[in-house]
């Protein structure tokens, strides 16, 4: 099967299709992008499965859940304008950190900084070091950029990804990065809502709609108060009372909750179990691919704090195509344009040391040795732990890493023979026991757009028991869950929608498992070894293990290197002098 794609072409053309005006007035915003290429209009008009439906918009406007008895949900494909993020404190702070690099004094002798790992953390480190006038040499083990946002093209030209990725308004460093690279238009912003499937009512959804007219946190409070399908009023009141200490106690309180799992904390605060079941299982799985009986409560409180304190904090966007080309390549081009290097297929096998315990060079699997003035490890924490030299193992900074362990997760893609109707142009919380979030990428993402067939991308979590099983078993289990989400359209035995093909991407060790008491083990970017630094979503930064966390960690790492410029230059000079033979 070869899908028609509409990347960078007709998608941006404006169209006049019945329903547009209703969509605008209900949403209260002018859509900037419609997912329909002009060449596809005819196909759309004749399609029985996709149409611009007013019905679902009316329901949405009333804040009701989608009721199948009123007719199947009509898939409305619509992007929203980029929200005004520029004036938030967090955005300005992140922008200031970016300008620190551009405005820092140009080094007389640029440092050569060797970086292991071209995920977002390594790419960000390289970008900001290059901005500060230094020369990063970024070495990636695999033949693809991006690490956990890596993606591959199959023989039909269809992309499949390591993970379904969502960008939030409350990602100030990512939002700055997109602006700095001139690629703001690559984020497809969706309606400000969170949409949850209703397990007890197969095929139905319940939503939290954040009104445009209210400031934060009132828009979030309004969204919660207006939803009466998932939580009853007494449950909402008890939950709010439970959260009160977090609101009053601020950051100190949030940090102190790292000792509790989400379930323990809910019990301690007298929050009914049903709140946990209705909301926090879905949230825990979306945040860290584990259940609330394992996740640290600190993680939830940080997320609530970040997402609810800004008006557009919880607004979501999809990248408009595959991450390696649409996000990583612009960073690589930028780094190269400033004299940096990015090399694929360059796996670091060993960190070789000098007699004083500092890094001598990185030894690659192909036998080459790469030397620099400073060294950065931006690999996942599990890889770093394998490569920490014996001599460093007893240093508490490295010893504490033992507590940080990557959590397994599986990303499933299924291409169907038809356009599914019971879906939406947004991220959906499945609330199934096996699945976390999912999206019909043939609707949400320009490059994956297809007017005739759906491609569901689903995060399968918790995956501990599944990561060792075969793809066929995983697809069978996924289909059973999908039959509940699409009761009219999908049956586990494929007697309804047929699978055209699938891809399963397993990540046995993904982001670190945020169980209680991990926070003190997260390392600062500057290590106790002179000239050796860490970057990665697991390192110390105020965002969770996320794309935002990875980019921020790269910035903080680059900042440490820039601040250490004099020390690093001195060290390099010394080692050069020791290599020069002394004249007799
Ligand atoms: C299924 C899934 C869904 C997700 N969804 C979201 C989401 O919606 N929103 C969000 O913000 N975050 C999400 N995340 C998390 C996000 O992807 C990560 O937090 C982030 O990408 C991590 O970036 P990183 O650079 O720290 O690490 P990585 O991306 O893991 O990068 C590390 C790099 O190091 C390389 N490497 C490893 N060993 C070596 C070696 N020996 N030598 C050289 N290179 C090496 C790796 O190949 C890799 O490229 C998701 C993750 C997954 C798996």
Q: Kindly provide the ipTM of the predicted complex, given to two decimals.
A: 1.00
Assign 334 a pLDDT band (cuts: 50, 70, 90).
very high
| Residue 66: pLDDT band with limits 50, 70, 90 | very low
Atom of ligand 1 nearest to the CA of 547: 11
Confidence tier at 498 by pLDDT (50, 70, 90): very high
Lowest-pLDDT range of 94-108, 247-261, 376-390: 247-261
**Residue ranges lining ligand 1, Cβ < 6 Å:** 116-122, 139-142, 147-149, 162-166, 347-348, 378-380, 383, 409, 411, 459, 507, 510-511, 536-537, 545-550
% the chain with pLDDT above 90: 75
Q: Where do the domains of the chain lie, and which CATH numbers do they carry?
A: 108-156+322-404+513-576 (3.50.50.60)
| Cα 395 to middle of ligand 1, angstroms | 26
| Helical axes 172-181 vs 89-103, angle rounded to 10° | 50
**170-205 confidence digits (pLDDT tens):** 999 999 999 999 999 999 999 999 999 999 999 999
Distance 314 CA to ligand 1 centre (A): 22
Average the pLDDT over 67-76 and give the result.
45
Q: What is the pLDDT of residue 307?
A: 85
The pLDDT of residue 16 is above 90: no
CA 246, CA 261: separation in Å to the nearest integer? 15
What is the number of the ligand 1 atom nearest to the C-alpha of 535? 26
pLDDT of residue 533: 98
What is the whole-number distance in angstroms between the Cα of residue 441 and the centre of ligand 1? 21
Band of pLDDT at residue 21, cut at 50, 70 and 90: very low
Category of 63 on φ-ψ map: left (φ > 0), alpha (ψ -120 to 50) or beta:
left
pLDDT of residue 581: 56
The answer to whether residue 385 scores a pLDDT higher than 50 is yes
pLDDT beyond 70 at 75:
no
Query: Can you give the pLDDT at residue 123?
Result: 99
Percent of the chain with pLDDT over 70: 86
**Would you list the DSSP string of 201-261?**
STT-EEEEE--TTSPTTHHHHHHHHH--SSS-HHHHHHHHHHHHHHHHHHHHHHHHGGGSB
State which ligand 1 atom lies nearest to the alpha carbon of 549: 19
Specify the pLDDT at position 453. 97
Q: Ligand 1 center to residue 540 CA distance, Å?
A: 16
Name the closest-CA residue to atom 48, ligand 1.
147
Q: Which atom of ligand 1 is nearest to the CA of 505?
A: 1
Smallest CA-to-CA distance from 378 within 402, 400, 362, 394 is with 362
For a ligand 1 pocket test, name from 187, 284, 380 the mutation site with the most ligand atoms within 8 angstroms of its C-beta: 380
pLDDT at 61: 35
Give kind and range of the element (H or E) at residue 96. helix 89-103
Distance 194 CA to ligand 1 centre (A): 25
CA–centroid distance, 155 to ligand 1, in Å, is: 25
In the three-class reduction of DSSP (H, G, I as helix; E, B as strand; rest coil), residue 465 is classed as coil
Q: What is the pLDDT of residue 144?
A: 98
**Better-predicted residue by pLDDT, 211 or 34:** 211
Burial group, residue 358, by CB count within 10 angstroms (0-12, 13-18, 19+): middle
Q: Is 121 exposed, middle or buried (0-12, 13-18, 19+ CB in 10 A)?
A: buried
Which atom of ligand 1 sits closest to the CA of residue 545? 19
Within 8 A by CB and 6+ apart from 118, the residues are 126, 138, 139, 140, 145, 146, 147, 328, 332, 342, 344, 378
Residues 6+ apart with CB under 8 A from 64: none
Q: Of 170, 317, 547, which is best to mutate to test ligand 1, by the most ligand atoms within 8 angstroms of its C-beta? A: 547
Ligand 1, from 115, 116, 119, 463: best to mutate by most atoms within 8 Å of Cβ?
119
Ordered alpha helix ranges (H), 257-403: 262-268, 273-275, 281-288, 297-308, 323, 329-337, 381-387, 396-399
Closest C-alpha residue for ligand 1 atom 31: 119
Ligand 1 center–CA 446 separation, angstroms: 23
Contacts of 177 (CB under 8 A, 6+ apart): 98, 124, 127, 331, 551
Q: What CA–CA distance (Å, rounded) separates 481 from 226?
A: 28
Whole-number Å distance, alpha carbon 427 to ligand 1 midpoint, is 20
Per-residue confidence at 242, pLDDT binned at 50, 70, 90?
Answer: confident
Secondary structure letter of residue 72 according to DSSP: P
C-alpha 115 to ligand 1 mean position (Å): 15
Q: Whose CA is nearest to atom 50 of ligand 1?
A: 163
Provide the CB-side half-sphere exposure for 574 (13 A, CA).
Answer: 7
Write down the pLDDT at residue 421: 95
| Of 115, 128, 163, 533, best ligand 1 pocket probe by most atoms within 8 Å of the beta carbon | 163
- Taking the centre of ligand 1 as the mean of its atom positions, its distance from the CA of residue 325, in whole angstroms, is 16
Ligand 1 atom at shortest distance from the alpha carbon of 122: 25
Determine which of 50-54, 66-70, 226-230 has the lowest per-residue pLDDT on average. Answer: 50-54
**What is the per-residue pLDDT for 547?**
98
Q: How far is the CA of 82 from the centre of ligand 1 (A)?
A: 25
Q: How far apart are CA 232 and CA 230, in angstroms?
A: 7
In angstroms, rounded to a whole number, what is the distance separating the alpha carbons of residues 274 and 497?
Answer: 34
Q: Judge residue 570's burial from the number of C-beta atoms within 10 Å of its C-beta, 0-12 exposed, 13-18 middle, 19 or more buried.
A: exposed
Report, as an integer, the average pLDDT of 276-299: 95
- Per-residue pLDDT at 70: 36
Q: What is the pLDDT of residue 19?
A: 25
User: What dihedral do alpha carbons 385, 388, 393, 396 form, nearest 10°?
Assistant: -70
Mean pLDDT confidence for 458-474: 98
* Rounded distance from Cα 161 to ligand 1 centre (Å): 12
Classified as helix, coil or strand, 575 is: helix
Q: State residue 47's pLDDT score.
A: 31
**Ligand 1 center–CA 326 separation, angstroms:** 16
Average pLDDT, the chain: 87
Specify the ligand 1 atom closest to the Cα of 166.
8
Model pLDDT, residue 188: 97
Supply the pLDDT for residue 352. 98
Min mean pLDDT across 164-178, 229-243, 411-425, 570-584 is at: 570-584
| Long-range CB contact pairs, 219-225, < 8 A, 24+ | 219/192, 219/311, 220/307, 220/308, 220/314, 223/193, 223/194
Give the whole-angstrom CA distance, residue 409 versus residue 284: 13
Kindly tell me if the per-residue pLDDT of 65 is higher than 70.
no
What confidence score (pLDDT) does residue 576 get?
A: 73
pLDDT at 122: 99
Does residue 63 register a pLDDT over 60? no
318-333, pLDDT tens digit by residue? 999 999 999 999 999 9
Ligand 1, atom 7, residue with closest C-alpha: 165
What's the confidence (pLDDT) of residue 48?
A: 26
């Amino acid at each position: 099967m070869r899908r028609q794609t509409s990347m960078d072409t007709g998608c941006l053309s404006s169209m006049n299709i019945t329903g547009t005006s209703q969509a605008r007035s209900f949403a209260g915003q002018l859509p900037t992008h419609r997912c329909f290429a002009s060449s596809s209009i005819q196909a759309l008009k004749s399609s029985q499965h996709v149409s611009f439906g007013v019905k679902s918009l009316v329901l949405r406007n009333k804040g009701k859940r989608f009721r199948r008895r009123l007719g199947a949900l009509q898939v409305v494909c619509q992007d929203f304008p980029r929200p005004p993020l520029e004036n938030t404190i967090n955005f300005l702070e992140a922008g200031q950190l970016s300008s620190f690099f551009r405005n820092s004094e140009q080094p007389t002798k640029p440092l050569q900084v060797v970086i292991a790992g071209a995920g977002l953390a390594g790419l960000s480190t390289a970008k900001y070091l290059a901005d500060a006038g230094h020369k990063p040499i970024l070495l990636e083990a695999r033949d693809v950029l991006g690490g956990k946002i890596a993606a591959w093209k199959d023989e039909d030209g269809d992309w499949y990804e390591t993970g379904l990725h969502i960008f939030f308004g409350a990602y100030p460093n990512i939002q700055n990065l997109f602006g700095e690279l001139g690629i703001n238009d690559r984020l497809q912003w969706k309606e400000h809502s969170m949409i949850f499937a209703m397990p007890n009512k197969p095929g139905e959804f319940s939503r939290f709609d954040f009104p445009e007219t209210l400031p934060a946190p009132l828009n979030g409070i309004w969204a919660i108060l207006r939803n009466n399908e998932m939580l009853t009023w007494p449950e909402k009141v008890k939950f709010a009372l439970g959260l009160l200490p977090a609101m009053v106690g601020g950051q100190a309180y949030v940090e102190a909750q790292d000792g509790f799992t989400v379930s323990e904390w809910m019990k301690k605060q007298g929050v009914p179990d049903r709140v946990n079941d209705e909301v926090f299982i879905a949230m825990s799985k979306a945040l860290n691919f584990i259940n609330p009986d394992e996740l640290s409560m600190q993680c939830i409180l940080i997320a609530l704090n970040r997402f609810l304190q800004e008006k557009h904090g919880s607004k979501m966007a999809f990248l408009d195509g595959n991450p390696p080309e649409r996000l990583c390549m612009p960073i690589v081009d930028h780094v190269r344009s400033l004299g940096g290097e990015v090399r694929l297929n360059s796996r670091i096998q060993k960190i070789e040391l000098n007699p004083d315990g500092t890094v001598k060079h990185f030894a690659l699997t192909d036998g080459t040795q790469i030397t620099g003035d400073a060294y950065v490890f931006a690999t996942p924490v599990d890889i770093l732990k394998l490569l920490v030299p014996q001599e460093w193992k007893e240093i508490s900074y490295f010893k504490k890493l033992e507590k940080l362990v990557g959590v397994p997760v599986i990303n499933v893609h299924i291409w169907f023979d038809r356009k599914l109707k019971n879906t939406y142009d947004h991220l959906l919380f499945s609330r199934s026991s096996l699945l976390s979030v999912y999206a019909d990428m043939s609707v949400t993402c320009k490059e994956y757009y297809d007017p005739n067939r759906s491609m569901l991308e689903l995060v399968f979590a918790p995956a501990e028991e599944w990561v060792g099983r075969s793809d066929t078993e995983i697809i069978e289990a996924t289909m059973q869950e999908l039959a509940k989400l699409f009761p009219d359209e999908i049956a586990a035995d494929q007697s309804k929608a047929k699978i055209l093909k699938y891809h399963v991407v397993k990540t046995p060790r993904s982001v670190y498992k945020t169980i209680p008491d991990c926070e003190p083990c997260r390392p600062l970017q500057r290590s106790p070894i002179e000239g050796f630094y860490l970057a990665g979503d697991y390192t110390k930064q105020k965002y969770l293990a996320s794309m935002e966390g990875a980019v921020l960690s790269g910035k903080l790492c680059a900042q440490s290197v820039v601040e250490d410029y004099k020390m690093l230059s001195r060290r390099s000079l010394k080692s050069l002098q020791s290599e020069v033979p002394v004249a007799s």
